Amino acid sequence: MLRRILAPIALATFTAALGGAPLAAQHDRQAGAIERTILQSHNVPGTTYKFVEAVTEVGPNGVVPRHTHPGPEIMYVLQGSLTLEVEGAPTRTLTPGQTAYNPPGIPHGGRAGPEGVAFLVTWVVPQGRPLA
């Protein structure tokens, strides 16, 4: 069952990472703008949860306001950089190829670097609940 859940994530990650021009070149991002593109969403069989996968892009020096999610969040930076602030953890800057895990219900936010940031993100959330 785990393989059935993880296979689509791996495929989407590979596709996003190798899918042609860099994400910043595909979208004209304004300074500070945040854009989320949902890639897929599926119910987790035998549970009341769903996983949602998206690419989030934040324009140069853009702020991601503090927020929480009802389930875990996993991030993979595709390009640019993000200074991530998670309550109870040291602030850190993520660059391409680095990952982060944000536990459910824990406030977090951040700031994109001068070149902006694009990251692949996966959430596991209760069905019917908003992402944030």
Q: Which H or E run includes 26?
A: helix 23-26
Rounded distance between C-alpha atoms, residue 114 and residue 61, angstroms? 5
**76/79 Cα distance (integer angstroms):** 9
When comparing pLDDT for 23 and 54, which is higher?
A: 54
Closest CA to 122 of 45, 28, 1, 7: 7
* 3-class SS of residue 76: strand
Question: For residue 131, what pLDDT is reported?
Answer: 85
Please give the Cα distance from 65 to 35 (Å, whole number). 13
Tens digits of per-residue pLDDT, 1-30? Answer: 444 444 444 444 444 443 444 444 444 446
* Alpha-carbon distances, residue 103 vs 21, 70, 100 (angstroms): 32, 9, 10
Task: Please give the average per-residue pLDDT across 45-73, as a whole number.
Answer: 96
